[in-house]
Amino acid sequence: MFSIRQANQDEAAWLQASFDSHMGWTKPPGYFAAALERQAQGHLALLLALEESAYLGHCKVVWRSAYPGFRDRGTPEIQDLNVRPDYRRRGIGSALLDAAERRIAERSDFAGIGFGLYADYGAAQRLYIKRGYLPDGRGLHYGSNPAVAGETYRVDDDLVLYLVKMLKP
């Protein structure tokens, strides 16, 4: 049985160690400290999935997105959704998104999210579409910049399709 809550300011070291030892890859040193600092400044909410005191996953709600398609419309962006590989397909990613969307609905009628286009993002692609996220209609982006027809781009984490979901009917 897992629970979802916002991270506390003093949890940076524990989160960094938990992520790095369980996710199968590591975040740059100071990643969670920086996220918690930004949370303290009111720029984002860092949401955690826990089983008792064990870290299972997290996501961030970023209130002012760096992506102009969201920022210009005041659409908050859900970022960095990650669930431990040994806890996937148990509804934890969905529960983190539920919690993120509830937080966003207090401020906005729309939630924004993006996914990469290669196979590592396959689960996220299916999950987001299944939950009602639709492409935002601005086409593929490389980082925050529109991908231009006829140009060549590297398929990596920056090649992103952004999607939106209407949270209120």
Ligand X SMILES: CC(C)(COP(=O)(O)OP(=O)(O)OC[C@H]1O[C@@H](n2cnc3c(N)ncnc32)[C@H](O)[C@@H]1OP(=O)(O)O)[C@@H](O)C(=O)NCCC(=O)NCCS
| 3-class state of residue 137 by DSSP | coil
Q: Which of 35, 55, 67, 93 binds ligand X (CB under 6 A)?
A: 93
Stretch that binds ligand X, among 7-15, 30-38, 80-88, 98-106 (CB under 6 A): 80-88
Please list, residue by residue across 139-150, b when 16 or more beta carbons sit within 10 angstroms of its beta carbon and e when fewer do: eebeeeeebeee
Count Cα atoms within 13 angstroms, Cβ side, for 69.
21
Q: Is 92 in the site for ligand X (CB under 6 A)?
A: yes
Q: Which of 68, 126, 134, 166 binds ligand X (CB under 6 A)?
A: 126
CA–CA distance, 118 with 95 (Å, rounded to integer): 24
Q: Which of 67, 70, 115, 162 binds ligand X (CB under 6 A)?
A: 115
Q: Which of 82, 100, 141, 164 binds ligand X (CB under 6 A)?
A: 82
Q: How far is CA 31 from the centre of its chain?
A: 14
Q: Which is nearer to ligand X, 4 or 81 (CB)?
A: 81
